[in-house]
A and B are shown apart, each in its own frame.
Chain A
């Protein structure tokens, strides 16, 4: 059982480039989310989805787009990368949005550097 799979593990971008961070889960979870982790800041929610076709903004959504065309996949797009987006990005999923008996499962992260 793979759980939550993120690709790539590492990425270096130049300012202004675009890219998509991939996230897939094989647990049939309805809820999926993206977090960024920065030193001293903990985990901050970027975007989330409560099911296929439904997405919403989190705490720090600016500069990022998401879509949820299938239950399994939840890609995160950076349209024009900026140095401030240098971070470690985590995708997480759970059965539903409530943590009651359905806590978040995290992927292993994508380490992004924007120069």
Chain B
């Protein structure tokens, strides 16, 4: 089946530093999503990308849909303590028949921010 390789698995950074994480796959996706999970809660959508090459920002977050449609990255600028959590990428592909959408999640990047 499809797999997403998300890296790094974990990051320990100082407050104020920039962060970059990415997801790669051998499969093509038509949508890339980035979620954040705070401790004890469910994942919350940060950014959705729908077009190859698309670059989208949401405050201090910037994400890009790779031109090959097989990868995506998420950058966080000037990190703050509340950025702590697990970040997941997810890619959606369109299977056979035109309606068999499949959403695949990466295994997550655990971000720790030291004040």
Contacts and interface: CB of A to CB of B under 8 A. Distances in A.
Interface residues of B, number: 24
A99 B92 contact: yes
A42 B99 contact: no
Interface stretch (B62-70, B76-84, B100-108): B100-108
B31 A99 contact: yes
B40 interface: yes
A4 B1 CA distance: 29
Contacts of A44: 105
A41 B101 contact: no
Give the interface residue-count category, chain A: 20 to 34
Nearest to B100: A97
Given A99-B31, A99-B33, A100-B50, A42 B42 contact: no
Given A42-B88, A42-B105, A42-B107, A103 B45 contact: yes
A109 B42 contact: yes
Interface string A78-107: 000000000000101000011111011111
Given A41-B107, A42-B105, A108-B42, 15 more contacts: A4-B42, A40-B107, A42-B6, A42-B107, A43-B105, A90-B43, A97-B99, A99-B31, A100-B50, A103-B33, A104-B45, A105-B45, A106-B42, A108-B40, A109-B40
17 contacts: A42-B6, A42-B88, A43-B105, A44-B105, A45-B103, A97-B101, A99-B48, A101-B48, A101-B50, A104-B43, A104-B103, A106-B42, A106-B44, A107-B42, A108-B40, A108-B42, A109-B42
Interface of B: 1, 6, 30-31, 33, 35, 40-45, 48, 50, 88, 90, 92, 99, 101, 103, 105-108
Report the 6 A-B pairs with minimum CB-CB distance, sorted nearest first. Answer: A106-B42, A42-B107, A43-B105, A99-B92, A99-B31, A97-B101
